[in-house]
Structures are given as structure tokens and as C-alpha cells.
Amino acid sequence: AQSVSQHNHHVILSEAASLELGCNYSYGGTVNLFWYVQYPGQHLQLLLKYFSGDPLVKGIKGFEAEFIKSKFSFNLRKPSVQWSDTAEYFCAVNGGLGNTPLVFGKGTRLSVIA
């Protein structure tokens, strides 16, 4: 069965600090990987996704993620966070054919302070 681990429950950063949120998955075959963001009181929004090809994926709002197959990881990064990045971040995975539902990690709450 697929599973997703997000190591950090709550991350607190000052504005302009760099961000890296960890995500590891467990799955026996090829995978599709996603990062979603949920701003307070709002619904899930897709930040970026990886299906195949270049393992370094660039998403919206300056976020990027790198798929490292040997480490089963898909960490999310941003060079300089802003106060408006305060939100809950979820890593998710489904099987390579895309015919299985997304499985989510527990989420990481990011608080950016001025």
C-alpha cells in the first residue's frame, strides 16, 4: 500500500528564510507526486506535480520540488518565504498509471513570521 511521510509537523520561519519541507513515500512502482497547499479557511490548491522527466519541478509562487528516486523523496523548497506562505502543505502520491486515488501525508503547517 502507498504511504506518505512528512517529517515536519510545524515549521516556523522568518520572512526571507529558505524553506525545505520533507516528503518521503512508500510505493512499489512508478509514482506521480504532488504538493498541495491549503491556506487558512480555503480549499486545496495544487502547487506542483511530477509525473516523469526532469526530476526538478517548478511550481507556482516560486516553489519547486526535487524527485530523488533513490531516496523515495520529493522535498518542497522555496528560496525565500513570505508571510503569505503561511499555510498547511500536503505531499501526495498516486500510482504511475494514475488510476489510484491520491494518498496524502499528514501535512506540515508553515508559519512565517515578520
Partner 1 sequence: GAVVSQHPSWVICKSGTSVKIECRSLDFQATTMFWYRQFPKQSLMLMATSNEGSKATYEQGVEKDKFLINHASLTLSTLTVTSAHPEDSSFYICSARSQASSYEQYFGPGTRLTVT
* Interface positions with partner 1 (CB under 8 A): 32, 36, 42-44, 46, 49, 51, 90, 94, 97-99, 101-107, 109
Residue given cell 491549503 in the structure block = 38
Q: How far is the CB of 79 from partner 1 (least distance, A)?
A: 26
Q: 81 or 103: whose CB is closer to partner 1?
A: 103
Report the alpha-carbon distance of residue 40 to residue 11 in Å, rounded. Answer: 15
What sections of the chain are H helices per DSSP?
A: none
Q: 63 or 89: whose CB is closer to partner 1?
A: 89
C-alpha cell at 103: 494518498
Q: 70 or 99: whose CB is closer to partner 1?
A: 99
Q: Is residue 114 within 8 Å of residue 48, measured between CB atoms?
A: no
